[in-house]
Amino acid sequence: MTSTGHPDSEIVFVVEEASEGGFVARSVGDSIFTEAATLEQLREAVHEAVACHFEEEKRPQVIRLMIGPDGILPE
């Protein structure tokens, strides 16, 4: 375990387009889910969700967003 308390000091979110519009993000390995209308809003929502989910000293230091199943959003 790293000094942050999170086993990897990193958390990964899979980002996909929502069927009703906007975007959803689901964490891999932790029970965190959030959604927003734009990617910029989603980035902010993910940071807020991570801050709510983990105590400050246990938060991952790196948050990665994997866009779509292959890392690319469809056009």
Q: Structural domain boundaries of the chain?
A: 10-67
d(CA 43, CA 35): 9
Alpha-carbon radius of gyration of the chain: 13
What b/e readout covers 9-18, taking b as 16+ CB neighbours within 10 angstroms?
eebbbbbbee
d(CA 9, CA 71): 21
Q: pLDDT grade, residue 14 (50/70/90)?
A: very high
pLDDT at 74: 54
Q: pTM score, two decimals?
A: 0.79
Q: pLDDT grade, residue 67 (50/70/90)?
A: confident
